[in-house]
């Protein structure tokens, strides 16, 4: 797909997804694996598929850095206005960024962002949740 053929993010549809070699999940719980999406095409496909899906779209990333990059790209394709952010929230659950044997605690900003995300998740009905795979492997305390 040439740059002139890339659709404006606000006007993407299922046909554009198929042009990228991507199709959204058709049933709840159905999994899709997308391959060979280069650069920001992955974020464009994710935002387009999430817009078409009435629930939460969970994305597992390879690392904390790739999760942050993907979240920024998804915000770009979704749009940054308050209405767009409310219609399709993009939530990132950050990694602790510490090793098991480190003697220091994670940075306060990371702790705050994790707590804010944990507070928001039970109330989230629609949107994109991006989690590094290392973070997804950690156990969490059950809600009180």
Q: How many domains in the chain?
A: 1
Chain segment 14-67, per-residue pLDDT in tens = 455 555 555 555 676 777 777 788 889 999 999 988 998 889 999 999 999 999
In a domain, 100, yes or no: yes
In a domain, 18, yes or no: yes
In a domain, 30, yes or no: no
Chain segment 82-97, per-residue pLDDT in tens = 888 889 999 999 988 8
Beta strands in the chain (DSSP E): 56-61, 90-92, 127-132
Q: Are 12 and 6 in contact (CB under 8 A)?
A: no
User: What local confidence, expressed as pLDDT, does residue 52 receive?
Assistant: 86
* Mean pLDDT taken over the chain: 82
User: What local confidence, expressed as pLDDT, does residue 24 receive?
Assistant: 58
Helix, strand, or coil (residue 90): strand
- Binned at pLDDT 50, 70 and 90, residue 124 comes out as very high
Q: What is the CATH number of the domain that holds 100?
A: 3.40.50.11180
Helices (H) and strands (E) in the chain, counts: 6, 3
113 is in which domain, residue-wise?
3-23+35-136
């Amino acid at each position: 797909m040439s740059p002139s053929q890339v659709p404006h993010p606000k006007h993407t549809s299922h046909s554009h997804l198929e042009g990228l070699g991507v199709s959204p999940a058709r049933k709840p719980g159905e999994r899709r694996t997308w391959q060979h999406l280069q650069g920001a095409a992955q974020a464009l496909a994710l935002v387009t598929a999430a817009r078409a899906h009435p629930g939460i779209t969970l994305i597992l990333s390879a690392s904390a850095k790739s999760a942050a990059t993907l979240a920024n790209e998804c915000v770009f394709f979704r749009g940054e206005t308050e209405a767009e952010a409310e219609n399709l929230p993009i939530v990132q659950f950050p990694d602790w960024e510490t090793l098991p044997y480190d003697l220091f605690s994670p940075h306060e900003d990371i702790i705050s962002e994790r707590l804010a995300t944990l507070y928001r998740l039970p109330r989230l009905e629609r949107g994109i949740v991006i989690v590094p795979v290392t973070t997804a492997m950690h156990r969490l305390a059950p809600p009180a």
